[in-house]
Amino acid sequence: MKITDLLSIESVDLNGKASGKQEVLEQMVDLMVKRGNISDRKVYRDTVFSREEEGTTGVGGGIAIPHGKSSAVKAPGLAAMVVKGGVDFDALDGEPVEILFLIAAPNTKDNVHLDVLSRLSVLLMDEGFTQKLKAAGSREEFLQTIEAAESRREAEEAGETEPARAENRKKIVAVTACPTGIAHTYMAAESIEKKARELGYEVKVETRGSGGAKNVLTEEDIRTADGIIVAADTKVPMDRFDGKRTVVCQVSAGISRPEELIRKAVSKEAAVYHSSGESAGESEGKESSGHRLYKHLMNGVSHMLPFVVGGGILIAIAFLIDGLSVDMAALSEAERANFGTITPMAAFFKNLGNVAFGFMLPVLAGFIGESIADRPGLAIGFVGGAIASTGTSGFLGALAAGFIAGYLMQLLKKIFSRLPKGLDGLKPVLLYPLLGVLFIGLIMNFLIEPPIGALNTMLNQGLSAMNNTSAVLLGFVLAGMMAIDMGGPFNKAAYVFGTASIAAGNYNIMAAVMIGGMVPPCAIALATLLFKRKFTAEERKSGPTNFIMGLAFITEGAIPFAASDPLRVIPSCVLGSGLAGALSMAMGCTLMAPHGGIFVFPVVGNALMYLAALVAGTLVSALVLGLLKRNRA
């Protein structure tokens, strides 16, 4: 398969005009649709825009290679556009983009098209080639230019032989990788290879693309290398580079600054990488501290999400089974308290869901710690998250535990770097886990948990005093507290107050508490449908499952969204939950069961108004969230 096999006359536009990035991408998608490779324009378009959220595909030099791998793609294809005068595309070099190639990749295991796409990326590194494309007078000439360049490249590769290494000739090895592994991976590889040969170095580059690792570095390659470059925006195996001078950078640096990276890799400026973590290759990226913290956070959130979704839906099934199997009105107070475990089948699903939920906060903290300090931070974060889960601090405590664990482990690594080399083997198996677990236990138990426990006591006392003043205000406060930390001390304080009120015969308070916990997941699910550009592709996929969890009164379904953007998500949810709780109180809604969500509506007093309050709170939270969040596409 050749590059021109993926292009057609219909998918080439030599007179493109657009006012900005979004408009030009929409036009490129239309070109691809004309190519005949797309079964669903909207699905493919959303995939392309989601990829752009991960980082610009404007690679510099007036070139952009947007791409999307989707089930809506029937066969691999290309679309091309030349924009005279260029268009602002947020390119890596800040310059306007004049040539765009859009890639359509089917969502299959067969990645044969990636070889073709990598060749296109390589060709575009040749300035003479891109000038000919911009000067093409017709679409036929445009295609002929590509075909001629590809034929020359193939002829060069067929006659290429690896020269013997001279005694004093230095050798560079590199690894390139980007999150999608389609364009940037191969462009960085070509840029490094080309510049290394110009400088007289031997070079070998391993590419880690969608089709897997290619041209994999051997032990001999690494042993004989004078310098190593890892240009990657995703994790690559690093242990093999232990003891070698290694420059670690973003894949964009591999494309735009290969000479600087090569000279640094072979000089004493490059740090010696140690797999045990005492010293890592020097980072060349311009990543801000805030972005690094966000990446650590998202590593924890992404690993936590399956536990939230799987456990939450299993618990919802348990409530459904009991709701269909028993007469809620005929249950005693004690039986209502055990709703979800009354029948044996419901108890099985509830217990299984609780097991999954039990891992949620330890996984969140563990993988935040792992992102900061690699494997040594994983176990320490797990322990800190487990303490938060079983204690009073909830998911906010788990967030703190993850970051504390990661940076605590980094501190221990620096301290132990002064120990004799003979003790290196003891560090990961004894010193790190022993002292890490000890210190995270001390920090969580004596610095994090006590103030939050005291906060819980104050909240309960304050709520008891408020119960005698204003019912509507109390409903707003209780319901809003359910949305503040979604399982943490505020949430628990409100829930405990609500369940205690049932025993005292105040059923309106429990109604406000439950509706406050139902709003956040429902609002987030609605927002992911109404404001798709405000959320990442992963968030849009998992968003609708929050309807199930919200209606089952599983507030924790909103935690991944709150953790990734707390300053916007939490205030939005608090406002909508508070409104729903206030309306529930104002309309005299009551609830005699402490859990169950929509499945216990048969025992809700004034159920129709209760449902109206839930809808109102959900709409308000979703709309406010849509206004506050920034576009992600």
CA neighbours within 13 Å on the CB side: how many for 401? 37
Higher pLDDT, 291 or 483: 483
Instruction: Give the end of a domain, one of 261, 283, 305.
Output: 283
Residues 348 and 449 in one domain: yes
Res 199: pLDDT: 85
pLDDT category at 582 given cuts 50, 70, 90 is very high
Residues 394 and 432 in one domain: yes
User: Looking at residues 207-224, what average pLDDT do you find?
Assistant: 83
Tell me if 166 is assigned to some domain: no
pLDDT per residue as tens digits for the range 59-92: 778 888 888 888 888 888 889 999 988 888 888 7
Q: What is the domain count for the chain?
A: 3
Q: Are 312 and 357 in contact (CB under 8 A)?
A: yes
Number of H helices, E strands in the chain: 26, 14
Q: Which long-range contacts (CB under 8 A, 24 or more apart) does 141-150 make?
A: 142/12, 142/14, 142/80, 142/82, 143/4, 143/7, 143/9, 143/12, 146/3, 146/4, 146/7, 146/120, 147/2, 147/3, 147/4, 149/123, 150/2, 150/3, 150/4, 150/119, 150/123
Sheet-wide strand order for 212-214: 212-214, 202-209, 171-177, 227-232, 246-249, 282-283
In angstroms, the CA 133 to CA 81 distance is: 10
In angstroms, the CA 119 to CA 190 distance is: 9
pLDDT category at 528 given cuts 50, 70, 90 is very high
Instruction: Give the end of a domain, one of 228, 259, 283.
Output: 283
Residues 276 and 297 in one domain: no
Residue with tokens 């490779």: 37
pLDDT per residue as tens digits for the range 149-198: 888 777 766 654 444 444 456 889 999 987 665 667 888 888 898 888 88
Residues 410 and 555 in one domain: yes
Tell me if 163 is assigned to some domain: no
Res 188: pLDDT: 85
Closest CA to 264 of 195, 316, 210, 328: 195
Question: Is residue 178 among the annotated active site residues?
Answer: yes
Q: Is 296 exposed, middle or buried (0-12, 13-18, 19+ CB in 10 A)?
A: buried
Res 317: pLDDT: 83
pLDDT category at 54 given cuts 50, 70, 90 is confident
Residues 479 and 541 in one domain: yes
pLDDT per residue as tens digits for the range 36-52: 889 999 988 988 888 88
Closest CA to 259 of 306, 214, 200: 200
Residues 401 and 270 in one domain: no
CA neighbours within 13 Å on the CB side: how many for 487? 27
Residues 301 and 408 in one domain: yes
Residues 607 and 584 in one domain: yes
Residues 139 and 221 in one domain: no
Catalytic residue among 178, 249, 573, 589: 178
Residues 14 and 116 in one domain: yes
Tell me if 164 is assigned to some domain: no
Residue with tokens 């109102």: 616
In angstroms, the CA 383 to CA 547 distance is: 31
Res 285: pLDDT: 44
Higher pLDDT, 332 or 460: 332
Tell me if 124 is assigned to some domain: yes
Res 576: pLDDT: 96
Tell me if 556 is assigned to some domain: yes
The parent domain of residue 59 ranges over 3-158
The CATH number assigned to the domain holding 178 equals 3.40.50.2300
Q: Chain centroid to CA 473: how far?
A: 37
Question: Is residue 595 among the annotated active site residues?
Answer: no
Tell me if 396 is assigned to some domain: yes
Tell me if 191 is assigned to some domain: yes
Res 167: pLDDT: 45
The CATH number assigned to the domain holding 42 equals 3.40.930.10
pLDDT per residue as tens digits for the range 402-458: 999 999 999 998 898 888 877 777 888 888 999 999 999 999 999 998 887 677 667
User: CA 341, 343, 348 angle in degrees (round to 5)?
Assistant: 60
Output the DSSP codes for 326-386: S-GGG--HHHHHTTTSSSHHHHHHHHHHHHHHHHHHHHHHHHHHHHHHSHHHHHHHHHHHH
Q: Is 460 exposed, middle or buried (0-12, 13-18, 19+ CB in 10 A)?
A: middle
In this model, does residue 394 exceed pLDDT 50? yes
Residues 270 and 198 in one domain: yes
Query: What is the DSSP pairing of strand 212-214 with strand 202-209?
Result: antiparallel
- Tell me phi and psi for residue 357, to 5 degrees: -65, -30
Q: Are 170 and 226 in contact (CB under 8 A)?
A: yes
Closest CA to 53 of 253, 298, 238, 271: 298
Query: What is the DSSP pairing of strand 604-605 with strand 202-209?
Result: unpaired
Instruction: Give the end of a domain, one of 239, 257, 283.
Output: 283
Count of beta carbons in the 10 Å neighbourhood of residue 208:
22
Q: Helix or strand or coil: residue 228?
A: strand
pTM of the model: 0.53
Residues 574 and 460 in one domain: yes
The 10 Å CB-count burial string (b at 16+, else e) for 328-354 is beebeeeebebbbbbbeebbebbebbe
Res 505: pLDDT: 64
Tell me if 151 is assigned to some domain: yes
In this model, does residue 348 exceed pLDDT 90? yes
